[in-house]
Amino acid sequence: MKITDTILYIGVNDHEVDLFEGQYVVPNGMAYNSYAILDEKTAIMDTVDARFTEEWLSNIEKALDGKAPDYLVVQHMEPDHSANIDNFMKKYPEAKIVSSAKAFTMMQGFFGTDYPERKVVVGEGDTLCLGAHTLTFVTAPMVHWPEVIVTYDSLDKVLFSADGFGKFGALDVEEDWACEARRYYIGIVGKYGPQVQALLKKAAGLEIQKILPLHGPILTEDLGYYLNLYDIWSSYRVETEGVVIAYTSVYGNTKKAVELLAEKLEEKGVTVAVNDLARCDMAEAVEDAFRYGKLVLATTTYNADIFPFMKEFIHHLTERNYQNRTVALMENGSWAPMAAKIMKCMFEKSKNITFCENQVTVKSALNDESRAAIEKLAEELSR
């Protein structure tokens, strides 16, 4: 695929993977992106997953029309992008490898060598001239590994953005960008909002016409749309006004309470997203919690604690720096309800969490008292 007159796509689509990083469901597969820059000297931008070695090396041969590449630029050492470094270096013994100092340390760990006679170490602001193309390297530590660099090509005004602006899904499948990019970002990069903000500030000083990520489609139009979403996500701001209800229910009584709350909120014109944590894609529920401004947590007291799926869900939120949100608590307990207290304590280290004044306690099943509490909570959440 031709991206510009001198930049070609040489990546691969993966429709065999079921769980990306061993946890994220990817029904439409994944793309592992790699690019070739053709100039007086040629550069290959990143490698691909280990299962696609032959396809990728064949793509290089076709793109370069049999010419040997001069450089391999490694922006990120996660194995879905770095697994074929050693295969490349063996196939092209004259090529040099360009990456950050920390990346070369990781290469030693992965491959038993850091290619001492062939390595070119780059850092913030360093450049590599290929002829007409000059590549400028920008450090992006913890977006989302410490060794990451991104690369700006001043000729074609292209930003090779590593895992930034990536999404789930192979390139031969049509699907909404924001939905799967949001799930990808929150799940994988969400913890590192300040680091992403720092990178966005650096990118603001560049004239960018195309963004070439390591996953997902090349972004060429309305770049402000993508940059704005990344700014919202990485600053933990509310993207969409509405209420997310995340719940677990053992015998259906907590579910009935949740359904009643959702009904009352919708009657008041509130957008509501409901997630049954025992059955939904947990990553989708986490995505919703970061997308919307208000979150309701509803669960049972279980083993003098809270139901396991709820505990896992809250851990997913807090480890990703969940903040700047309003949280409401609903609990169910037949003899000693304590779920609300436990859930609240789990957010002790979270920033800018505002808990609703109205809390709902269901003792076994809904009654007039708990229905009235739900009405009050719906009223508070709708304001």
Q: Work out the pLDDT band at 33, boundaries 50, 70, 90.
A: very high
Residue 350 near residue 320, CB atoms below 8 Å: no
Is the dihedral angle over the CA atoms 8, 14, 20, 21 positive or is it negative?
negative
Q: What angle do CA 189, 192, 195 make, to 5 degrees?
A: 120
Portions of the chain given CATH number 3.40.50.360: 242-381
Place of tokens 């505002």: 354
Each residue of 315-355: pLDDT tens digit?
999 999 999 999 999 999 999 899 999 999 999 999 999 99
Residue 348, judged by CB atoms within 10 A of its CB (0-12, 13-18, 19+), counts as exposed
pLDDT for the residue 1: 85
Q: Global pTM?
A: 0.93
Portions of the chain given CATH number 3.60.15.10: 7-234
Each residue of 189-228: pLDDT tens digit?
999 999 999 999 999 999 999 999 999 999 998 999 999 9
- Residue 53 token pair: 């070695």
**Cα separation of 148 and 142, whole Å?**
7
CATH number belonging to domain 242-381:
3.40.50.360
Concatenating the DSSP letter of every residue in 108-147 gives HHHHS---TTTEEE--TT-EEE-SS-EEEEEE-TTSSSTT
- Residue 126 token pair: 């360093």
Using DSSP, state whether 156 is helix, strand or coil: coil
Residue 35 near residue 64, CB atoms below 8 Å: no
pLDDT for the residue 66: 87
Residue 15 near residue 170, CB atoms below 8 Å: yes
Each residue of 255-294: pLDDT tens digit?
999 999 999 999 999 999 999 999 999 999 999 999 999 9
Fold of 7-234: Metallo-beta-lactamase; Chain A (3.60.15)
Question: Which residues lie closer than 8 Å to 356 by C-beta, 6 or more apart?
Answer: 326, 327, 328, 329, 377, 380, 381
Q: Side chain identity at 151, as an amino acid letter?
A: T
Residues facing 96 on adjacent strands? 71
Radius of gyration of the chain (CA): 24
Residue 270, judged by CB atoms within 10 A of its CB (0-12, 13-18, 19+), counts as middle
Concatenating the DSSP letter of every residue in 158-202 gives EEE-TTTT--SB-TTS---HHHHHHHHIIIIIGGGHHHHHHHHHH
**Cα separation of 156 and 5, whole Å?**
9
